[in-house]
Amino acid sequence: MSLDTAAVTGQGEGPSGRRGLDDLRFALRNPKLLAGGTVLLLLLLTAMVGPFFVSGDPNAYVGPQFAPPSGDHWFGTTSFGQDVFTQFVHGLRATFAVGALGGGIAGVLGMLVGFVGGYRGGLVDEVLNMVTNIVLVLPAMVVLIIAAAYLEARGLMVQGLFIGLTTWPWAARAIRAQTFSLAGREFVDLARLSGRRSWRIILREVAPNMYSYLVMSFILLFGGAVLIAAGLDFIGLGPTEGVSLGLMMHHSVTWGSLHLGTWWWFIPPGLGITAVVGSLYIANVGLDEVFNPRLREL
């Protein structure tokens, strides 16, 4: 993703200056954004609405063991007779939840630290920058593994919280740099001369100039959180209760579905994670092209 200043300062190329409409027109014409967005929306819809139709406990033993996909069990069953489709739909929901929570926490933290450090400067910035760098060099995965191993009862919320608390630094650094350059502009001085409070200047003068960047940061953080959660689940440090896509893969590998050739157990969750993260990233590239006039295919 490029930190192009033209995109960030928002000097859109639209001759009329109606930037929002221009962006929308380019967005609707961008195949990457459309494709990524459609896949993502379908998955999101499945995750939100699906569990109401596929009712019941996803871990309940409902059918024959090792049944391949059929009319009764769309995605087949596990070695315990659990329905893979039910697990998939519930797992998708968990995946979106952990992505939203982890990405959301990381996004808010990153913006807070980045905006305050970049706008205030001086000692505040030094301290915040130091904290950012420390968290940045922490081997996040290792910390997550250790933390997850020590926690007795692990839930989605705890997992999302930990992911959020460890992945914000790069966003904070990028936002800080942008804020630095924007805060030196005279329109910020002018807002100060107009008696504005600092936080309102940050939110209303500085932030609107980098909305596109903030949206893209959140998308990347969201995708990152999904991947980290899947990794943690896969090595068995996921939620102790419930179901998630990573956890499904963990169980399938643990109970030897690779050797037994029960592909319907591990393909759906793997494909689900790939589809979520892949569509997010493709949509992100598309968004970049929409916001950045230089990448637009005219």
Partner 1 sequence: MLTLERVSKVYRVGTFGTQPLNAVRDVSLTVPPGAVVSLIGESGSGKSTIGRMVLRLTSVTSGTIAFDGRNVAGLNGHRARKEYYRHVQGVFQDPFSCFNPIFPVDRVFELLRGEYFAATPDTEWRASMRRSIERVSLDPGQVLGRYPHQLSGGQLQRLLIARALMLDIRLLVADEIISMLDASTRIDVLNLLGDLREEGLGILFVTHDLSLGTYVSDTTVILRRGRIAETGPTGEVFASPRHPYTRGLLASVPRMHRTWAEADAELDAETGPCPVHDSAGSEHPADPVEVGAGHFVGCFSNDTCPE
Q: Judged by CB, which is closer to partner 1: 130, or 190?
A: 190
Candidate residues 55, 142, 195, 259; the one interacting with partner 1 per rule CB under 8 A: 195
The answer to whether 192 contacts partner 1 (rule: CB under 8 A) is yes
The answer to whether 199 contacts partner 1 (rule: CB under 8 A) is no
State the nearest-atom distance from the C-beta of 209 to partner 1, in Å. 6
The answer to whether 241 contacts partner 1 (rule: CB under 8 A) is no
Q: How many residues bind partner 1 (CB under 8 A)?
A: 20
**Which residues, other chains included, contact 239 with Cβ-Cβ below 8 Å and sequence gap of 6+?**
94, 154, 155, 156, 159, 233, 247
Candidate residues 23, 83, 125, 205; the one interacting with partner 1 per rule CB under 8 A: 205
**Window of 41-49, 205-213, 247-255, 261-269 that interacts with partner 1 by CB under 8 A:** 205-213
**Window of 56-64, 72-80, 139-147, 201-209 that interacts with partner 1 by CB under 8 A:** 201-209
**Window of 102-110, 142-150, 156-164, 188-196 that interacts with partner 1 by CB under 8 A:** 188-196
Q: Judged by CB, which is closer to partner 1: 120, or 196?
A: 196
State the nearest-atom distance from the C-beta of 4 to partner 1, in Å. 14
- 143 burial via Cβ count (<10 Å: 0-12, 13-18, 19+): middle
The answer to whether 196 contacts partner 1 (rule: CB under 8 A) is yes
**Which residues, other chains included, contact 110 with Cβ-Cβ below 8 Å and sequence gap of 6+?**
168, 169, 170, 171, 172, 175, 217, 221
State the nearest-atom distance from the C-beta of 187 to partner 1, in Å. 5
The answer to whether 187 contacts partner 1 (rule: CB under 8 A) is yes
State the nearest-atom distance from the C-beta of 205 to partner 1, in Å. 6
Rounded to whole angstroms, how far apart are CA atoms 296 and 298?
Answer: 6
Binding positions for partner 1, 125-184, rule CB under 8 A: none
The answer to whether 186 contacts partner 1 (rule: CB under 8 A) is yes
Applying CB under 8 A, which residues contact partner 1? 9-11, 17, 19, 185-187, 189-197, 205, 208-209
